[in-house]
Amino acid sequence: AMISTVHFSVQYDNAFWSPAAKQMGYGDGGVDLKPLPAALDVIAHEFTHGVTQATAKLTYQDATGALNESISDIFAAFIEHTYQANENDNFLIGELIGKSGPLRNMVHPADEALQYPQRDHMQVYFKTKQDNGGIHINSGIPNNAMALMTVGGTNDVSKVQLPRGLGWDKSEKIWYHALTNFFMSSDDFETAATKTIAAAEDLGLPETDRNVVECAWIAVGVLSGECK
């Protein structure tokens, strides 16, 4: 059974997935956030942690933990797009519950107007012992790779431009296939990059599409080389 607890604690500015209890919990906010169950992408984010725990079992530490967090944001965007399609808002995380605006932006992760700006390129990867090795700030890097491979665009640091993306359907299939068939518990950004490319090939996508996936990871500095 899926267990989901609302009204968790008092003025709790957060939502969570409990690996031990295998349940979700949502606070009512109060200081920085509005009630968290009001946002479909927040619910999808937490639910995806459960899916990740049941499939890839990504360790919640350092780059692997950041990949874990990113996958929850990625499927938050996919799920929101499925039910509430909006090309701009679907790449925003928590836009309905942040009192001062969106929490995160997958297209521009480092935007200082966000409540929680993130890193957007490996050149600025943040090394810290806090937050399990900076998992919530560094997850902006694969977040941006997903946005680029989905709709195209330009990374704000490298200025590498993808003139086109794969579209939402193909991108979603690649990420789900990679998560459930290729990702393993210790994977980092680089292995995630190679495995999303492998997932695209396994799904039978042409070389031109696989090049888009590779270029997205080059744009955020995870892979080296030139885009094809």
DSSP string, 154-202: E-TTT--EES----HHHHHHHHHHHHHHT--TT--HHHHHHHHHHHHHH
Q: Residue 196: phi, psi to the nearest 5?
A: -70, -35
Give Cα 36 to chain centroid, integer Å. 18
The residues carrying an active-site annotation are: 46, 136
User: In sequence order, which ranges of 21-162 are alpha helices (DSSP H)?
Assistant: 40-54, 62-83, 131-138, 140-151
CA distance 22 to 3: 8
Are 160 and 219 in contact by the 8 Å Cβ rule? The answer is yes
Q: Single out the residue of 136, 106, 140, 135 nearest to residue 123, CA to CA.
A: 140
> What is the 8-class DSSP label of residue 85?
-
CA distance 73 to 41: 8
CA distance 127 to 61: 12
